[in-house]
């Protein structure tokens, strides 16, 4: 695999070629990764996978016309043909008055922040096999576990580089490690599955295999023989594993493209109270060894920690340059770029700040409700905010989590859901998007 410096040089080279071929402006992305994955089932090796890839994406501009192309063939002849094809395509493309590179005066200059995203490790497949086996063994050892979907372990390294024709060139490398177990508990129609996993940038921060396995087994056993839920309005409490999806609906609604196209249920919400007072949501791209940390965005702009929601108020849209121009605003450093197509937007280490009360206190006054640990399907309308998803979890009765339940639907509208949301104080940074336990009053539950 190329070093970050080599990847940056390759991206710069293809941009220079594009300019020589007649492009008025250009940017290029080089992305490479190598990973190894091991899967174990019932104590035996089931699969070993090794993948390596290197891809280059080029976007060129001829006036207000643009085209994007990508390739995994990095030979000199292939790259020359790629450049010629991109410029020819751009000349025939329709004009787009908003298209273009990021503002030159906003580009990141100087040394990027040191985020400690690459531990330099080289992991042997034998080690991955050992920890995957240990995770599955620990899960299967939990009384009540009757079968296994397997244990898995992975290790990988990625290099990403971006260069533009108006003065930016940067690159960085990341390592990643993952460990998981998924098992089945119970017999016959009462069988249930559950899982546990952990992902890190540094191997020494990966949770112990035994802990991951026991958590998976314990979760599966707790869900055996689920009951049905009577239908009606009631409070819904989201486990942090599934509550993070609510932030995905928020960021989709405040993306620049959704606002520019007027296809968001939060279209007129900027600067207004969207959540209850006390609720804050932050994006932190500078979190050391964070799963979604990055030193610059997909257009070469600097990134910094931001408060998207501050004390319940919506503070910003998430803007890349094209949407920012259309809205008469400035890009916010949230551009996301793949090897193909124009930039979109993304967040980095997104999280909802912890509330003031522990989860037990959050549910103590709930006479009857549900604690959701699994969500199924994607019945969410980003234009209207209507929300309806299949779910499974546990009943809440007289302030206590009690019987497992399954095959029910939770429904509402995201605007009142956000307004009626209360976070607990149990925030942990385990994933790319993190939330504490969340309670939302006034949702509709439809049982089987």
Shared-domain flag, residues 216 and 296: no
**CB neighbour class for 127 (10 Å; exposed up to 12, middle 13-18, buried from 19):** middle
Closest CA to 134 of 179, 176, 193: 179
Cα 136 to chain center, whole Å?
26
Rg of the chain taking only CA atoms, in angstroms: 24
Task: Work out whether strand 368-380 and strand 350-352 pair parallel, antiparallel, or are unpaired.
Answer: unpaired
The label of the residue with tokens 């109270």 reads 273
pLDDT attached to residue 448: 67
Return the half-sphere exposure (C-beta side, CA atoms, 13 A cut-off) of residue 272.
Answer: 10
The total domain count for the chain is: 2
Domain containing 55: what range? 4-221
Angle at CA of residue 422, ends 421 and 423, nearest 5°: 125
The label of the residue with tokens 């339940």 reads 405
Q: Residue 384: helix, strand or coil by DSSP?
A: coil
Contact 175, 118 (CB under 8 A): yes
End position of a domain, from candidates 221, 251, 266: 221
Shared-domain flag, residues 113 and 242: no
Contact 164, 26 (CB under 8 A): yes
Contact 32, 190 (CB under 8 A): no
Residue 425, both tokens: 């104080």
What does each C-alpha distance from 397 to 129, 234, 392, 404, 428 come to in angstroms?
A: 43, 11, 16, 12, 26
Q: What is the pLDDT of residues 138-192, one digit of tens each?
A: 999 999 999 999 999 999 999 999 999 999 999 999 999 999 999 999 998 889 9
Shared-domain flag, residues 51 and 197: yes
For residue 67, give every residue at least 6 positions away whose Cβ sits within 8 Å of its Cβ, in sequence order, or none. Answer: 59, 60, 86, 87, 89, 90, 93
Contact 198, 212 (CB under 8 A): yes
Helix (H) or strand (E) holding 36: strand 25-41
pLDDT attached to residue 319: 97
Shared-domain flag, residues 58 and 114: yes
**CB neighbour class for 417 (10 Å; exposed up to 12, middle 13-18, buried from 19):** buried
Q: Report the CATH number at residue 50.
A: 3.30.2290.10
How many other C-beta atoms lie within 10 A of the C-beta of residue 100? 16
CA distance 301 to 106: 6
Angle at CA of residue 118, ends 114 and 119, nearest 5°: 115
Residue 321, both tokens: 């340059």
The label of the residue with tokens 């002849």 reads 77
Shared-domain flag, residues 288 and 313: yes
Shared-domain flag, residues 233 and 217: no
CA distance 416 to 4: 46
Residue 330: phi and psi, rounded to 5, are -105, 145
Shared-domain flag, residues 320 and 438: yes
How many other C-beta atoms lie within 10 A of the C-beta of residue 123? 17
**CB neighbour class for 254 (10 Å; exposed up to 12, middle 13-18, buried from 19):** buried
Residue 152: strand pairing partners: 39, 180
Task: Work out whether strand 433-434 and strand 350-352 pair parallel, antiparallel, or are unpaired.
Answer: parallel
Residue 286, both tokens: 């500078």
pLDDT attached to residue 447: 86
Shared-domain flag, residues 47 and 88: yes
Shared-domain flag, residues 245 and 125: no
End position of a domain, from candidates 175, 199, 221: 221
Contact 207, 384 (CB under 8 A): no
CA distance 446 to 18: 57
Helix (H) or strand (E) holding 249: helix 245-253
Q: Residue 92: helix, strand or coil by DSSP?
A: helix
Shared-domain flag, residues 294 and 391: yes
Closest CA to 106 of 408, 329, 294: 329
Helix axes 76-92, 4-20, angle to 10 degrees: 50
pLDDT beneath 50, residues of the chain: none
Shared-domain flag, residues 80 and 205: yes
End position of a domain, from candidates 169, 191, 221: 221
Helix (H) or strand (E) holding 131: helix 125-140
Shared-domain flag, residues 260 and 203: no
């Amino acid at each position: 695999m190329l070093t970050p410096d080599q990847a940056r040089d390759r991206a710069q080279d293809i941009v220079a070629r594009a300019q020589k071929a007649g492009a008025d402006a250009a940017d290029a992305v080089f992305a490479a990764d190598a990973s190894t994955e091991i899967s174990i089932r019932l104590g035996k090796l089931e699969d070993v996978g090794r993948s390596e890839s290197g891809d280059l994406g080029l976007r060129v501009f001829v006036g207000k016309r643009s085209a994007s192309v990508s390739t995994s063939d990095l030979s000199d002849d292939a790259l020359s043909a790629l450049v010629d094809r991109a410029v020819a395509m751009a000349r025939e493309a329709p004009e787009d008055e908003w298209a273009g590179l990021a503002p030159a005066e906003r580009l990141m200059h100087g040394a990027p922040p040191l985020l400690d995203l690459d531990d330099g490790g080289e992991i042997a497949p034998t080690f991955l096999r050992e920890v995957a086996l240990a995770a599955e063994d620990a899960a299967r050892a939990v009384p009540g576990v009757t079968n296994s979907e397997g244990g898995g372990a992975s290790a990988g390294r990625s290099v990403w580089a971006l260069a533009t024709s108006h003065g930016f060139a940067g690159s960085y490398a990341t390592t990643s490690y993952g460990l998981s177990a998924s098992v089945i508990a119970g017999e016959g129609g009462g069988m249930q599955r559950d899982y546990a996993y952990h992902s890190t940038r540094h191997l020494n921060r990966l949770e112990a295999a035994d802990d991951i396995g026991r958590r998976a087994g314990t979760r599966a056993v707790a869900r055996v023989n689920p009951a049905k839920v009577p239908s009606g309005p009631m409070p819904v409490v989201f486990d942090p594993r599934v509550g993070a999806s609510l932030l995905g609906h928020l960021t989709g609604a405040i993306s620049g493209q959704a606002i520019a196209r007027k296809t968001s249920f939060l279209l007129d919400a900027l600067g207004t109270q969207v959540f209850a007072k006390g609720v804050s949501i932050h994006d932190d791209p500078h979190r050391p060894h964070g799963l979604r940390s990055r030193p610059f965005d997909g257009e070469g702009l600097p990134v910094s920690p931001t408060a998207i929601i501050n004390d319940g108020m919506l503070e910003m849209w998430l803007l890349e340059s094209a949407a920012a121009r259309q809205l008469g605003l400035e890009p916010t450093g949230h551009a996301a770029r793949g090897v193909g197509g124009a930039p979109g937007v993304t967040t980095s280490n997104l999280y909802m700040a912890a509330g003031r009360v522990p989860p037990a206190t959050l549910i103590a006054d709930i006479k009857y409700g549900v604690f959701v640990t699994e969500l199924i399907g994607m019945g969410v309308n980003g234009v209207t905010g209507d929300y309806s998803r299949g779910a499974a979890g546990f009943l809440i009765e007289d302030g206590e989590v009690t019987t497992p339940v399954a095959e029910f639907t939770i429904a509402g509208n995201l605007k009142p859901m956000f307004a009626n949301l209360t976070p607990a104080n149990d925030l942990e940074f385990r994933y790319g998007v993190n939330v504490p336990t969340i309670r939302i009053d006034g949702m509709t539950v439809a049982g089987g």
